[in-house]
Structures are given as C-alpha cells and as structure tokens.
C-alpha cells in the first residue's frame, strides 16, 4: 500500500468549495472522479483544508492510500486529462504511511486580493473583492501587528452546528498589506486557521481603514472572545489558499 501526496491548484469560482456536498459540484468530487478513472478504485482522500464556495487555491494538497503502481511522475498528467480546466495537478510524490494532508500540516499561508479603485475590473470578477473606498494601508498595517503571535481567535471565527467551541488558539506568524497599483494583497501565515478566520480578519482591517475601528482596539477585540466585536466577514472571492507547509521540502522531488 502506497501513500501518495498530490499538490494541485484550482479556480474556485465554479465550485461550492472543496468538500463533497449534495446537489453541488465541489473540487473534491471532480478530483475523486478523475482519480477513479485512473486507479479503478475508490480511495479515501484527505484534503489539507476545507475551503468554502468561491475560494481559490494556488496550492492545495491531498493524500490517499492506494495499491496501484502508477509512477508518481505520470500521475499529474493522467489526472489532468480527466480534470476540468479549472483544476490542475502540479505534482505527486510518495510519503510516509502515517502522513496526512491535514494533520501533518505545519502551517498555511492565505492571501486576500482587493481591487481598490472606483471602477470594477471585469477581469477580476470572482477573483478579487472590488472595494471602492480608498484604503488607509498605514492604519491597516498598524492594526495587523496586533494579530501576530499566539492568541485565542474566538472573536475571529464563525461558529455553526458542525463547529463546536474547542481550542481556538492559533499562532499568526506573518500578516502584511501590500499593493501593486490598484491591487491590494493581504497576506497571512499561521500554524492553523479557524473557520472564516482570514475573511473576518480582512473584514476587520477594512473597518480599521474606514475609521470604524481603531488599530489599538484589536487587542481588546481579541481578548473579548466575542465574534460580535470584530468586523464583518469579507466575501469569499478574494481569498486564496496560497501555500501549505510540511516538514519535508518540495524540492526533494517525487518517488
């Protein structure tokens, strides 16, 4: 039995997130169907994250066990032959038997794209939030510093019936706001993320930019452990899972 790690990227605009759902097309569904065409067996696929409807991935990882002997070097092209154009497999490699795409993950990096201009950009429809109010990056970056470090991020998590209160402590390693022309990018790296955590942080930073929240109010919002104290949840279309970190290096190649 082999344990295979597959790295892919996908355009989430036409999908209802990663996880299989009834009466909705998801990335996991199309990947499972493509994998079945190649392996001829149903496999238990472990995804590195449960991205929501409309969220994209520049890097997404899945792992699965199989007895099939197809070389890892051939697997990306074989999968891409069955996948829609909105999903592309980049690499495949054998990993240790106990490797798990989600639980072996040491951290993730997300980016959130904002088109900050009076007029919308039709080429970014579904790929960046159109935000026409002028952003105050200096205020946003001052607020961003307070998120760094280890905190309980209950105030920045959406709770639903499938997500009960648990250990909401996470360590944010990096949070920055940069721009190139009218395109503003928020980048955040942490050892893990709660449900909607990035989108709520972005929504809060937008309210900081507008002056509704002061940068030095962020510590009190974190300490409150109260979702109602933070800003609104930013829309999904600007969010990308950008990088997934494991103990081994991607330059080790495939087996």
Residues designated as active site: 52
Question: Using alpha carbons only, what angle is made at residue 195 by residues 52 and 105, rounded to the nearest 5 degrees?
Answer: 90
Distance in angstroms (rounded) separating the CA atoms of residues 210 and 94: 49
Closest CA to 1 of 55, 48, 66, 61: 66
25 in Cβ contact with 15 (< 8 Å) = yes
Residues belonging to the chain: 255
Judged on CB neighbours under 10 Å (0-12, 13-18, 19+), 71 is exposed
Per-residue buried b or exposed e for 187-207, using 16+ beta carbons within 10 Å of the residue's own CB? bbbbebbbbbbbbbbbbbbbb
179 in Cβ contact with 137 (< 8 Å) = yes
């Amino acid at each position: 039995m082999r344990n295979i790690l597959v790295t892919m990227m996908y355009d989430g605009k036409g999908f209802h997130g990663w996880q299989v759902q009834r009466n909705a097309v998801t990335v996991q569904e199309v990947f499972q169907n493509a994998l079945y065409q190649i392996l001829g067996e149903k496999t238990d696929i472990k995804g590195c994250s449960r991205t929501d409807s409309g969220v994209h991935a520049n890097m997404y990882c899945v792992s699965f066990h199989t007895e099939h002997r197809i070389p890892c070097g051939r697997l990306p092209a074989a999968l891409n032959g069955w996948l829609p154009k909105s999903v592309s497999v980049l690499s495949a490699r054998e990993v240790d038997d106990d490797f798990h795409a989600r639980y072996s993950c040491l951290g993730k990096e997300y980016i959130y794209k904002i088109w900050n201009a009076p007029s919308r950009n039709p080429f970014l429809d579904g790929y960046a939030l159109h935000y026409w109010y002028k952003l105050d990056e200096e205020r946003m970056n001052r607020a961003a510093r307070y998120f760094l470090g280890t905190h309980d991020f209950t105030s920045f998590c959406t709770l639903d019936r499938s997500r009960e209160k648990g250990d909401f402590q996470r360590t944010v390693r990096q949070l920055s706001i940069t721009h190139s022309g009218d395109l503003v990018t928020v980048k955040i790296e942490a050892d893990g993320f709660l449900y909607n955590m990035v989108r709520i942080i972005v929504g809060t930073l937008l309210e900081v930019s507008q002056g509704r929240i002061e940068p030095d109010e962020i510590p009190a919002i974190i300490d409150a452990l109260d979702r109602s104290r933070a800003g609104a949840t930013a829309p999904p279309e600007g969010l990308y899972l950008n990088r997934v970190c494991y103990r081994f290096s991607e330059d080790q190649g495939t087996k």
